[in-house]
Amino acid sequence: MSLFQNALRSVVSSPGILSGYPGLGYAGLTNSASKVNVRSSLTISAFYSGIDMIANSIAILPHHVINKTDDNIDHLVDHPVHQLLNKRPNNYQTPFVFKHLIASVALMRGNFFAGIMTDDDGNIVGLEFWESNLVTVLDYNNELFYQYKGNTYRSDQVIHIPAFSFDGKLGKSVLEFAADNLGTTLNAQKFGSSSLEDQGLSYGIIESEKSLNPEAKDAIGTAFSKRLTTMSKHRAAVLDEGMVYKRIGLNPEESKFIETYANGIEDIARWLHIPNHKLRTKGEGGYNSMVQLELDYLQSAVKPLAQKIKEELDYKLFTTSEKENGVAIDQNFKILLQVDPKSRAEYYKSMVFLKAMTPNEIRVLESLNPYKGGEEFLQMSNLLNEQQLK
């Protein structure tokens, strides 16, 4: 391995820099971007909610191993990969936590890495989550290699899910591009917080009809500031005759703080490709439009990332012969489209009507036990032709 490592010459980059290790700010067009990092961005409620929502959608998405042939689909529940993705990927994480990490780390750090653990016979026995800031990706002879904690791994030994990418080798965190917007929102939050702490007090000047020497000006200013900056509940200052206090600076209303923060939420929704209502904003209503927005969320925010995950798992977790014989990961998005019971009943009715589902298939989806005879497709009698009625 040492000879191989000495041969590596082209270091692509270090995800510890690209993926936004906590404490490292992102360069942007404004000074506000320097305040943005993984930790500070998650203090913005809308951004935290958006990231967590997409990650939760990926985490609850079933990942089954199937064998798809021309006329049949078999669920391979005993396949080792099925057990890893649905029972326990490693000793530390549940399937939900592991899949949640895939989405959240890919979005926040730009790249998700996991080592594929095998036994002495080469059988996959686990998926080990890797901290992306400790991974270095190397390009040698047009093949990627990964260095993690002093060891070097081939590409087929590593699950790598990149986010937005310019070269297909390393992904870019959304924070790198959204830093300016998020920095402005952080400034709005800070301004609102400091304004509340000061109970609306701000900078000001004291005008006097009399001429004052510098010592008198300093004494008046110091006394006035001391009286108003005390931490007691009741603060008041008394001005001498002919003196007037005039406030300078902007209060939250004058700076349109609420509008600025609302615009920040809309920007976050755009960065994450999710409808505004998913971030608990007001103004989007109507049952039909909400259903359409849920479909839009699924198509824009969830499915693209889910497809990246599926393609990587399909390529890295199955043997060549398995892939040639139609073994693959199946992601069932129905769980993300569950609506009210009435709409579900109408959907099932239509599926039975079209002979696309049997009653027992519906009962399984509704967590009900099958019944004898329910495995048969039903025929709607009012659609029988004359020959069938005889």
pLDDT digits (tens, 9 = 90+) for 360-373: 887 877 767 888 88
Query: Which of the residue ranges 40-54, 160-174, 199-213 would you say has the lowest mean pLDDT?
Result: 199-213
Write the pLDDT tens digit of every residue in 319-333.
999 999 999 999 988
Residue 278 DSSP symbol: G
Write the pLDDT tens digit of every residue in 239-263.
565 566 655 454 544 445 445 554 5
Give mean pLDDT, residues 133-162.
92
Query: Is 21 a residue whose pLDDT tops 50?
Result: no
Q: Check if the beta carbon of residue 148 is closer than 8 Å to that of residue 113.
A: yes
The CA distance from 250 to 264, in Å, is: 19
Query: Is 20 a residue whose pLDDT tops 60?
Result: no
Q: Check if the beta carbon of residue 305 is closer than 8 Å to that of residue 54.
A: yes
| Residue whose structure tokens are 């990969």 | 81
Give mean pLDDT, residues 13-30.
46
The per-residue pLDDT for 14 is: 44
The CA distance from 291 to 336, in Å, is: 12
| DSSP one-letter string for 45-63 | HHHHHHHHHHHHHHHHS-E
**pLDDT: is 214 or 204 the higher one?**
214
pTM for the complete prediction? 0.71
Containing 205, the helix (H) or strand (E) segment is strand 204-208
pLDDT above 90 coverage of the chain, percent: 30
Give mean pLDDT, residues 274-289.
65
Q: Where are the alpha helices (DSSP H) in the chain?
A: 2-7, 15-18, 38-41, 45-60, 80-86, 95-109, 174-197, 214-228, 257-271, 287-297, 303-317, 320-324, 341-353, 359-365, 386-389
Number of residues written out for the chain: 390
Give mean pLDDT, residues 2-29.
46
**pLDDT: is 389 or 147 the higher one?**
147
Torsion of CA 49, 54, 59, 65, to 10 degrees: 180
Write the pLDDT tens digit of every residue in 53-93.
999 999 999 899 999 887 788 889 999 999 999 999 999 99
The per-residue pLDDT for 375 is: 82
At residue 139, φ and ψ (nearest 5 deg) are -110, 115
